[in-house]
Amino acid sequence: MDSSWLGMSVGTFVLVVATLGVAAHYRRERRRADLLRNLDHHEWLQWQRSRR
């Protein structure tokens, strides 16, 4: 019985760590996409101003 509880607790810990890793990865990718979108928008505004 002790080994099954140990296995369940280790498995639960691994799943929690994996979930946190996936959430952190998702947040980093969303942040990167937002920064790239803003960068493109900034360059577009500069290009428009230089053509006028």
> What does pTM read for this prediction?
0.63
b/e per residue 37-50 (b: at least 16 CB within 10 A): eeeeeeeeeeeeee
Model confidence band, residue 45 (pLDDT cutoffs 50, 70, 90): low
Instruction: Return the sign of the alpha-carbon dihedral for residues 19, 24, 25, 26.
Output: positive
Rounded Cα gap, residues 19 and 50, in angstroms: 47
Rounded Cα gap, residues 28 and 23, in angstroms: 9
pLDDT at position 38 over 90: no
For range 18-38, the mean pLDDT:
92
pLDDT at position 23 over 70: yes
The DSSP 8-state label assigned to residue 52 in this structure reads -
